[in-house]
Structure 1
Amino acid sequence: MTSIAIDKGVGAMLRHWRRSRRLSQLELALRADSSARHISFIETGRARPSPDMVLKLAEHLDVPVRERNGLLLAAGYAPRYAETPLDDPAMGALRAGIDQLLQGYEPYPALVVDGTYTVVAANSGVAMLLGGVAEHLLTGPANAMRLTLHPEGLAPRIRNLPQWREHLLHQMRRQMALARSAALRALYEEVSAYPLPPSRQGVDRPVESPYAPFALPLQIEHEGRVLSFVSSISTFNTPMDVTVAELAVETLLPADAATVAFLRTAPPHG
């Protein structure tokens, strides 16, 4: 993934983040216990911020961890946050914790993805839903967006595909607004161009529920029935590593009693 162009200098980069957060120099200064004059000097290149000031401003601007390294580099300092591969021995405890977490959600589907939606771990509930997905989508590191939206993936079985597709694309657009990632942009352009599966003469209409929806459900056909889920996404609190900062745990929780009943009685799927 690439960062916001660091050749602009740290001042221009911080100004970009401040404006994207719709803060004035005075508002940022008050949050960071500084002065509007000092913030102005930093943004115009008249003052060089210390590493601690760079990180303080980044924290108050909610800058992603990867981009904080870019700010430090642009200011002439070494990156503060490591980027440790998940298969590194130092990540052993984290991997074990993730596996235990995903198993704890069974029989409900749950998975972990990185910043470009590559699936790094998943439980048996996810495996159950992937029956019939084209092999080429499962070979190598699978990608959650491709699995969901590709015409040979889950898309033909999603009853409310137009709504769910727009929800996922909106999620990706919001993420791209936070960090300029060439890989994420390429993925967005790919999946947003996938054609919608042909209509099946009304079969693709969302299933009506007798209850008011509390969140947009994912309605997916499975073994002759329609399962309904709501998605919940969580991240790690105060990450100190780029890899960890970009991990997200997504769980699919049953949205109706019929889905609960089916998942609790379905045979385990390995």
Structure 2
Amino acid sequence: MSHTAALPAASPRPIGDLLREWRRHRRLSQLDLASGAEISTRHLSFMESGRAQPSRDMIVRLAEYLEIPLRERNQLLIAAGFAPAYRERALADPALASVRDTMRLLLQGMEPYPALVVDRHWHLVDCNQATQRLLAGLPPQWLQPPIHVLKLSLHPTGLAPRIRNLPVWRAHLLERLRRQIDATQDPGLMTLLAELRSYPGEESASSHTNDAIAVPMELELGDAVLSMLSTTTVFGTPMDITLAELALEAFVPADAATAACLRQLAAA
């Protein structure tokens, strides 16, 4: 049996380069960032150029002001030679038992309205029975883990044919994804956006009514059309990467007819 030697891990990029990239990505000048983080512009310039090495506390301070996600904050710390500050546990870890209980409580509390929990890359983590009822009848490949929520929603063999206002809803989802990429600079999300944009269909930024307060998803279910508004809930002040990257997506009725239909489905 032959063995292939493992390639050495790539050396991390200099911390100064990473700080400069994040500052520019947030469209801040050195003066803007230095003033916001309460440090001198000279010190920031020296850190970005590599003439000064930032301390661990300084990296955390700058990352907080730049609103850098926890996963990327760890990358900054590693680049500077420090240990990561934020742990990443599997959701099944006993330490996250209270998180799992909270998610289940929130999902059940949304019944009879659909609600689901997704991770950073939009994989389904958990959902309530109302969500399962709406997904019933889809091709089996879409219901096998890992379920990817955005692909399931926009693919022509998934939910897309049942979404009456697909151009508007597609534009809404892709814009959300673009904002997420802007916040995280995650290459995986960039690849996902390219794939979703390759699916057949048009994007439309205009709503079907002039007095709409938000973009609903109009989902055909038999002879009925469910009109639902989406809401997003995240955990506040997380210190664990897994927890920071979870989001609860809930769909609430946009009209009385939809609310009645969802209650009837649950009763049946």
Using the size of structure 1 for normalisation, the TM-score is: 0.89
Give the superposition deviation at 1:195.
2.1
Q: Does residue 31 of the first structure (1) align with residue 36 of the second (2)?
A: yes
Matches for 1:49-88 after TM superposition, within 5 Å: 49-88=54-93
- Give the structure 1 partner of residue 253 of structure 2: 254
User: RCO greater where, 1 or 2, for CA within 8 Å and sep 6 or more?
Assistant: 1
Give the superposition deviation at 1:207.
10
The unaligned stretches of length 5 or more in structure 1 are 198-205
Q: Output the CA distance in 1 between the equivalents of 2:226 and 2:157.
A: 19
CA contact (8 A) 2:115 2:250 kept: yes
Give the superposition deviation at 1:212.
2.0
Q: Output the CA distance in 2 between the equivalents of 1:92 and 1:214.
A: 37
Q: Output the CA distance in 1 between the equivalents of 2:243 and 2:181.
A: 18
Using the size of structure 2 for normalisation, the TM-score is: 0.90
CA contact (8 A) 1:218 1:228 kept: yes
Q: Deviations over 1:130-160 (max 9, x none)?
A: 0221110111211111110111111000001
- 2:103 paired residue among 80, 98, 101: 98
- Over the matched positions of the two proteins, sequence identity in percent amounts to 49
SS of corresponding position for 2:191 = helix
Q: Does residue 120 of the first structure (1) align with residue 119 of the second (2)?
A: no
Give the superposition deviation at 1:265.
2.6
Q: Output the CA distance in 1 between the equivalents of 2:65 and 2:267.
A: 46
Cα distance change of structure 1 residues 120 and 268 upon mapping to structure 2, 3 Å threshold: farther
CA contact (8 A) 1:149 1:191 kept: yes
Q: Deviations over 1:113-144 (max 9, x none)?
A: 00100010111121121022111011121111
- Give the structure 1 partner of residue 239 of structure 2: 240
Q: Output the CA distance in 1 between the equivalents of 2:172 and 2:116.
A: 18
Q: Output the CA distance in 2 between the equivalents of 1:35 and 1:128.
A: 57
Give the superposition deviation at 1:84.
0.3
174-183 or 80-89, larger mean C-alpha shift: 174-183
CA contact (8 A) 2:112 2:266 kept: no
- Give the structure 2 partner of residue 156 of structure 1: 161
149-158 or 26-35, larger mean C-alpha shift: 26-35
Give the superposition deviation at 1:76.
0.8
CA contact (8 A) 2:168 2:207 kept: no
Q: Output the CA distance in 2 between the equivalents of 1:238 and 1:16.
A: 25
Q: Output the CA distance in 2 between the equivalents of 1:30 and 1:12.
A: 20
Q: Output the CA distance in 2 between the equivalents of 1:215 and 1:6.
A: 46
- Give the structure 1 partner of residue 194 of structure 2: 189
How many residues are treated as equivalent by the alignment? 256
